[in-house]
């Protein structure tokens, strides 16, 4: 049985779900004020593996991915480039979808933009005001965490240390991973740019980033989500904000599982413009790597462990993938057009792969197990039918990996 590490509770739990209804999965998506880098894609690939493995196990998955196209940074970037906000974000969204397809990431069933869910944001904020957990201050509207029992429960926040003095945080996002101990913004009264203002019952303004994921979830999903996924940085502030908002307007748990992927570093340093070490898919392709090699590098590891990019680690991943493909080519040549039959070796491949993936998506373990079995196989002594059966097994495994064929 698949067991997943649930950040809520900090333990591995059995993933139990009825096969006759879809798994409801929601994931944080790109902030499209700029193109996504390979660190972003590391997160999106572990989420893609989760979707594909659930389908491999026989589940139907209904997936949503939030697209943040309205926020402080996007407005400033559009102004800087002399573009409308929509021109900037449309361009980056189109590029993001192209790269998803290039890296064989399944395009989600829903990719709502924040700009398409303003009505839902207004509805949520109006409900929060009525419940007196949100309030107006000037043109803005803020959420008061002290009005919500259990606030910070995902992170495990000690609310006894919350400051008594009223503090308000106005920005959509803040640098670094730390807590802002105060009230967070839900609605920005129109003051930054006319390009991002809506006339609503709340007045003229725009929803903050904090309320955007809840608005997208509520638009496309009813009931408790099976899982909510994102990067480890979202464990600070963002996901607890979403929980507090959604569970204040809906009388049930937001999600059963919370999953958080670790960051990708470059040369043991976090990617940043100031360090000049941000890498894009296009950069690696220009350096001679294929999309399959990039995908393999980003998935070869455990999603909860930091992955470090160096030229050597990328070259090693590329070599490892080609070694697996070389064995596959030998099997294909041996199999010719034979009708596939199962063999103990095929069964071992599936069992070893499944055992590792069932253990909290241990992809590195699963790939290593597959490699060990393949490299120990005597293909020259194998019958064409059994070689064909091995090919069939590898195709099934590659339904998840998407790198071998």
* All structural domains of the chain with their residue ranges: 3-261, 312-401
**How many Å apart are CA 166 and CA 339, to the nearest integer?**
72
The secondary structure of 211-242 as a DSSP string is HHHHHHHHHH--S-EEEEEEEGGGGTTHHHHH
Pick the closest to residue 104 from 383, 398, 396, 340 (CA basis): 398
Pick the closest to residue 389 from 332, 324, 329 (CA basis): 332
For the domain spanning 3-261, the CATH number is 3.40.50.620
**How many Å apart are CA 105 and CA 102, to the nearest integer?**
8
* Band (127; pLDDT cuts 50, 70, 90): very high
Q: Does domain 312-401 have CATH number 1.20.120?
A: yes
Sign of CA dihedral 112, 116, 118, 123: negative
* Band (276; pLDDT cuts 50, 70, 90): confident
Task: Tell me the residue length of the chain.
Answer: 405
- The model's pLDDT over 138-196, given as tens digits with 9 standing for 90+, comes to 999 999 999 999 999 999 999 998 998 999 999 988 887 889 999 999 999 986 545 68
Pick the closest to residue 297 from 282, 279, 280, 315 (CA basis): 315
Q: Phi and psi dihedrals of 402, rounded to 5? A: 60, 40
Give me the chain's average pLDDT, please. 95
Helix (H, G, I), strand (E, B) or coil at 164: coil
- The model's pLDDT over 37-87, given as tens digits with 9 standing for 90+, comes to 999 999 999 999 999 999 999 999 999 999 999 999 999 999 999 999 999
CA torsion 372-373-376-379 (nearest 10°) is -140
- The model's pLDDT over 363-403, given as tens digits with 9 standing for 90+, comes to 999 999 999 999 999 999 999 999 999 999 999 999 999 99
Cβ within 8 Å of residue 156, ≥6 positions away: none
Helix (H, G, I), strand (E, B) or coil at 332: helix
SS3 percent helix, strand, coil of the chain, rounded to 5, is: 45, 20, 35
């Amino acid at each position: 049985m698949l067991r997943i590490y649930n950040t809520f509770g900090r333990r591995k739990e059995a993933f139990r779900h009825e096969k006759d209804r879809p798994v409801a999965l929601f994931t944080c998506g790109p902030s499209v004020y700029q193109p996504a880098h390979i660190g972003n894609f590391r997160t999106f690939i572990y989420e893609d593996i989760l979707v594909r493995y659930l389908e491999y196990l026989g589940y139907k998955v209904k997936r949503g991915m939030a697209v943040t196209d309205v926020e402080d940074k996007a407005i400033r970037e559009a102004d800087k480039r002399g573009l409308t906000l929509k021109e900037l974000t449309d361009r980056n969204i189109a590029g993001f979808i192209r790269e998803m397809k290039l890296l064989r990431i399944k395009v989600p069933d829903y990719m709502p933009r924040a700009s398409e869910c303003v009505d839902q944001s207004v509805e949520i904020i109006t409900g929060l005001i009525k419940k007196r957990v949100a309030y107006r201050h000037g043109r803005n509207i803020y959420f008061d965490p002290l009005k919500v029992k259990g606030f910070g429960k995902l992170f495990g926040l000690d609310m006894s240390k919350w400051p008594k003095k009223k503090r308000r945080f106005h920005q959509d996002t803040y640098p670094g991973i730390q807590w802002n101990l105060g009230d967070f913004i839900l609605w920005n009264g129109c003051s930054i740019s006319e390009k991002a203002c809506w006339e609503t019952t709340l007045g003229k303004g725009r929803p903050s980033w904090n309320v955007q994921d809840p608005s997208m979830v509520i638009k496309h999903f009813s009931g408790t989500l099976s899982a909510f996924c994102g990067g480890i940085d979202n464990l600070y502030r963002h996901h607890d904000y979403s929980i507090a908002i959604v569970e204040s307007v809906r009388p049930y748990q937001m999600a059963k599982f919370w999953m958080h992927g670790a960051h990708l570093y470059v040369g043991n340093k976090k990617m940043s413009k100031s360090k000049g070490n941000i890498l894009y898919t296009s950069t690696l392709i220009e350096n001679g790597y294929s999309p399959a090699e990039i995908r393999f590098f980003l998935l070869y590891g455990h999603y909860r462990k930091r992955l470090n990019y160096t030229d050597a680690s990328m070259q090693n991943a590329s070599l490892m993938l080609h070694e697996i493909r070389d064995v596959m080519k030998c099997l294909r040549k041996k199999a010719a057009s034979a009708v596939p039959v199962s063999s103990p070796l095929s069964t071992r491949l599936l069992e070893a792969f499944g055992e590792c993936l069932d253990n909290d998506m241990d992809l590195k373990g699963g790939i290593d197990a597959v490699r060990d079995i393949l490299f120990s196989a005597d293909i020259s002594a194998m019958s064409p039918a059994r070689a064909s059966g091995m090919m069939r097994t590898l195709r099934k495994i590659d339904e998840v990996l998407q790198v071998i064929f």
